[in-house]
């Protein structure tokens, strides 16, 4: 039985299936954040594409938590893969202190594995979300303006403030010269938003060239909202520490 273990900083990366990437390869990251767009979207992506769970991440910095799914013990942060995709996904919320040391090692892991780019999926709080007829997906990139993302329908987010793990991801990727993009779909701030996740996934599918049928996600939206309430509550507690309510609210005019 295959088993590999590597420490990057104080984080233990475990792999229990061999996997090799074909170029170009993309790492997709999903953390609890605005509207749980990343968690809902990435979880659905894993299920819909039937991706293999190949490993996970653990650390003495994490709370003493064991994640159990279908009677099987899982790592707090899980790693999935296919030939050209990698997924790093968790439903756990981490303190800003843990995120600040976790994100750099995830970027290091992406570089070691040979990923060509990193994409984060999340939401952007939209005032009067209930009245929105059409949701827009914006992007922020370590490369600035990116034609590939705009052809997929994402609009560049020109001025504002990004707070939390995805801000760290972009800064660390830029420092280590790995292309990284964050897709931000208009969503509720503190309510699970499966519809926003579906819009973000549709844009993502065009970027990575993989068809993702979001029909089932939309059909299950109400059930997902109910199941995700507790996770959203825990995530909102972290928001208060981060000052997440200030995100995007201050335009920066140059």
What pTM value is reported for the model? Answer: 0.91
- pLDDT given for residue 29 in this prediction: 97
Collect all residues with Cβ–Cβ distance below 8 Å to 139 and sequence separation of at least 6: 146, 149, 154, 155, 156, 157, 181, 182, 183, 184
Structure tokens belonging to residue 28? 């997709």
Handedness of CA 142, 161, 97, 79 (dihedral sign): negative
Q: What is the DSSP letter of 131?
A: G
Spatial separation of the C-alpha atoms in residues 150 and 153, rounded to whole Å: 5
How many angstroms separate the first and last alpha carbons of the chain?
Answer: 57
pLDDT in tens, the chain (254 residues): 788 999 999 999 999 898 889 999 999 999 998 989 999 999 999 999 999 999 999 999 998 887 888 888 889 999 999 989 999 999 888 888 999 999 999 999 999 999 999 999 999 999 898 898 899 999 999 999 999 999 999 999 988 888 889 999 999 999 999 999 999 999 998 889 999 999 999 999 999 999 999 999 999 998 888 888 777 777 776 655 555 555 554 444 33
Q: Are 204 and 28 in contact (CB under 8 A)?
A: yes
Q: Could you tell me the fold of the domain covering 4-246?
A: Rossmann fold (3.40.50)
What are the sequence ranges of the domains in the chain?
4-246
- pLDDT given for residue 238 in this prediction: 65
Handedness of CA 216, 187, 138, 237 (dihedral sign): negative
Spatial separation of the C-alpha atoms in residues 170 and 121, rounded to whole Å: 12
Spatial separation of the C-alpha atoms in residues 154 and 251, rounded to whole Å: 19
Give the DSSP H or E segment for 79: strand 77-81
Helices (DSSP H) in the chain: which residue ranges?
37-49, 96-113, 147-151, 165-175, 194-208, 215-219, 221-227, 229-242
């Amino acid at each position: 039985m295959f088993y590999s273990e590597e420490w990057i900083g104080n984080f233990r990366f475990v792999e229990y299936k061999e996997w090799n990437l074909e170029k170009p390869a993309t790492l997709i990251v999903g953390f609890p954040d605005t509207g749980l767009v990343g968690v809902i979207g990435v979880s659905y992506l894993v299920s819909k594409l039937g991706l293999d769970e190949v490993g996970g991440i653990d650390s003495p910095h994490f709370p003493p938590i064991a994640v159990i799914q279908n009677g099987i013990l899982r790592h707090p942060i899980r790693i999935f893969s296919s030939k050209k995709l990698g997924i790093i996904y968790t439903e756990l919320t981490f303190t800003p202190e843990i995120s600040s040391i976790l994100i750099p090692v995830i970027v290091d892991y992406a570089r070691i594995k040979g990923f060509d780019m990193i994409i984060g999926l999340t939401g952007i709080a939209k005032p009067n979300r209930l009245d929105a007829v059409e949701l827009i997906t914006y992007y922020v990139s370590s490369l600035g303006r990116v034609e590939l993302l705009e052809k997929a329908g994402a609009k560049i987010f020109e001025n504002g403030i990004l707070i939390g793990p995805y801000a760290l991801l972009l800064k660390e990727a830029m420092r280590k010269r790995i292309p990284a993009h964050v897709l931000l779909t208009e969503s509720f701030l503190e309510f699970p938003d499966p519809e926003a996740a579906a819009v973000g996934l549709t844009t993502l599918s065009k970027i990575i060239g993989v068809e993702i049928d979001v029909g089932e996600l939309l059909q299950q939206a109400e059930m997902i909202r109910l199941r995700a309430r507790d996770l959203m509550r825990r995530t909102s507690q972290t928001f208060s520490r981060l000052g997440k309510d200030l995100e995007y609210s201050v335009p920066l005019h140059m």
